Structure 1
Amino acid sequence: MIFSQIWRFISPGLYRHEKLVLVPFTVISTLCFVGGAAFGYFVVFPPAFRFLLGYSSAFLEPMPAVDEYFSLALRLLFAFGVIFELPVFMVFLGKIGVVSGSFLKKNRKYALLIAFVLAAILTPTPDVVNQLLMAGPLIVLYEISILAVVLFARTTLAGFPSKTEAKPAGFDAEGEGDEQRGPL
């Protein structure tokens, strides 16, 4: 609903070619978020809730309050919705020339480490199972991001030159001016 209001505010000021870029981005981004939230709710939430209920004993009966239940569910939905946006975010970074497929491939080991650190921070429960249930999709999404950047980030967004574009005439690879032309 909020995104719909933002779109209604922004869209009248956009040119047709800008809308043609933003509409697919918006649809894919929304689908990724909803898919991540669904994954979090149907796959990760049941073990996380069972873990919290696992503290019961003969003397201790778990009685989670509704606000605690909703807090756990919303944190998981939001966290997984955001991490499923990784391919969209990486394609955007690829379009503006910040990352490339080869850069992502080369730094795969750092992404693996960051995935486990983020999973440890973002999961609401301290158990390893839920951390693995978040780190696993992050790693898979990183690999999908590499493929998406290679396939979709070949052309750049208007106004953002890619690193592979040719330098302006009179400039060499280091950006130095051509000595033969003289001062401007």
Structure 2
Amino acid sequence: MSTGAENDTGQPLVQHLTELRDRLLRSILVILIFAVPLMAFANDIYTFVAEPLTRYLPEGSSMIATEVASTFLAPFKLVMVASICLAMPFMLQQIWGFVAPGMYKHEKRVALPLLVSSIVLFYAGLAFAYYAVFPLVFGFFSSVAPVGVAYTPDISRFLDTALKLFMAFGVAFEIPIATVLLIWSGAVERDSLREKRPYVIVGCFVVAMLLTPPDIFSQCLLAVPMWLLFEAGIFFSRFLGTRETEDGQ
């Protein structure tokens, strides 16, 4: 037979799990709401994403499909990723709705602007990758093809590279948010991060080397913004106090 104490501790847990399930289902539903109509434009979306590459293909050349189903699977995969990106504000709003009731008022005052900023920065990272990085990277690869070698990229391999770059720059543009949160939470001190600047710069180039294709252009185009965004995070953190200071007020 259950005791009253067991009910008191068990019921909130069940409610939290039920709320989490409902919010996950809503997020999946919103992704599908975006994906279903976008499927009608899957090839157009793929053509748009591939344009920074196709403009540099040699005259008379084109992309190829080396697998039987890749002409369907590549655009389908891109549509699903695009749907997730479009649904990102709603998904983050669901996360905020789940965690906000357990936060103090001063924590909400800091967390909400950071949440909104993270969405804007993520989209800014995607735009920077498409408009600044793609033309340089794919133009470089097209220009260095040896004589007698036909440069005809596979559509699936191109998409994998493009999505890797999109995610790398989208996440990299979240560095100011991570920096501000670390300083505000008291996990690190602002002066301590400044002292570690040389290590951070080296780390940015190491991460860029691992996440980007093996060319100096894309590596620098990721590493330098990562460092500048780190500096921006340190700069904007000075306008916030620390969590310990606010808790003590």
User: Residue 140 in 1 paired to residue 228 in 2?
Assistant: yes
Q: CA deviation at 1:19?
A: 5.0
Q: Larger % of helix: which? A: 2
Mind listing any 5+ residue stretches in structure 2 that lack a counterpart? 1-86
For residues 58-117 of structure 1, the C-alpha deviation after alignment (integer angstroms, 9 at most, x for no partner) is 421111122222222111111001011001001111111012221111111111111111
Aligned to 1:4: 90
Q: CA deviation at 1:13?
A: 6.3
Cα distance in structure 1, aligned partners of 2:225 and 2:91:
31
Cα distance in structure 2, aligned partners of 1:52 and 1:92:
38
Q: Secondary structure at the match of 1:14?
A: helix
Aligned to 2:242: 155
Aligned to 1:177: none
Aligned to 1:126: 214
Q: Residue 145 and residue 5 in structure 1: after superposition, are their counterparts in 2 closer, same or farther (change >3 A)?
A: closer
Q: CA deviation at 1:30?
A: 0.4
Q: Secondary structure at the match of 1:44?
A: helix
Q: Which has the higher contact order (CA 8 A, sep 6+)?
A: 1
Contact 2:129 2:165 in 1 (8 A): yes
For residues 19-78 of structure 1, the C-alpha deviation after alignment (integer angstroms, 9 at most, x for no partner) is 554432221000111111111111111111123223433421111122222222111111
Cα distance in structure 2, aligned partners of 1:136 and 1:86:
12
Residue identity opposite 1:14 in structure 2 = A
| Count of matched residue positions in the alignment of Structure 1 and Structure 2 | 158
Cα distance in structure 2, aligned partners of 1:76 and 1:117:
15
Aligned to 1:114: 203
TM value normalised by structure 1: 0.75
Aligned to 2:100: 14
For residues 1-184 of structure 1, the aligned pairs below 5 Å read 1=87, 4-5=90-91, 7-8=93-94, 11=97, 14-15=100-101, 17=105, 20-123=109-212, 125-152=213-240, 154-156=241-243, 161=244
Contact 1:115 1:139 in 2 (8 A): yes
Residue identity opposite 1:52 in structure 2 = F
What is the percentage of aligned positions where both structures have the same residue? 31
Residue identity opposite 2:141 in structure 1 = L
TM value normalised by structure 2: 0.57
Residue identity opposite 1:141 in structure 2 = L
Q: CA deviation at 1:6?
A: 5.6
